[in-house]
Structure 1
Amino acid sequence: MLLSDLLDLPVTAPDGSRLGFIVDVRFRRTARRGRREGDLELIALLVSPHTRQSTYGYERGRVTGPAAIAKIIRWFHRGSRIVPWDCVARVDRDAVVLGVQPPTIPLDTRMPIPDAAE
């Protein structure tokens, strides 16, 4: 599977509701093997409910300017969330289908994670 196969795909929850579109992904590097770097492992999808546009790195907190662009990007991606790859049941040609309801993990790590009872 290529990254381009995932980007822009809609993400569907187990109940059939649409969570949004994949705008980016997160990887982690596995353990080093001798002098060889570890492999990249897909661990999460970044899902935006309002747009298919990239976040252009503004969700990482290290990109600070221009402020006007940052504000627009934040507005486009309001309500975006991180969906762990472990929640994915299957990847179809036209959608990613989740097997379980994903936890609510906001993109902005400064935001509190909502209580499940809310």
Structure 2
Amino acid sequence: MPKALPTIDMSSPVCCAPVASGPMSERDALEVALRLKALADPVRVRIMSMLFSSSAGEENSGELAATLGLSEPTISHHLAQLRRAGFVVSDRRGMNVFHRPAPDALGALCAVLDPNCCR
């Protein structure tokens, strides 16, 4: 049985020295790894792409499911993973839940992986 990664608070963007700046602490490496794990799925990458390219700046779960050809429960599962990693912000309005990307979280992850990324 695979060993489960520990749970940490990922509600704010990753904030640590860039990978290239020297050896990372175990905790910082875990924070980066858990966020990368959240993006390590083609469906989640497509969801992020759709959210970033949305003309409205947000999409509801039904629209994402229809566009991706997946069920709403499957989309909800993937969105939960992205929310936990801090990459997506969701708001309930009536019967619908609208999702938008959290660009600061992705920018912070990029800066940790490549300190020259966002200059």
Which TM-score tier does this pair reach, normalised by the shorter chain? under 0.3
- Please give the TM-score of this superposition, normalised by the length of structure 1: 0.26
- Please give the TM-score of this superposition, normalised by the length of structure 2: 0.26
Structure in which a larger fraction of residues adopt helix:
2
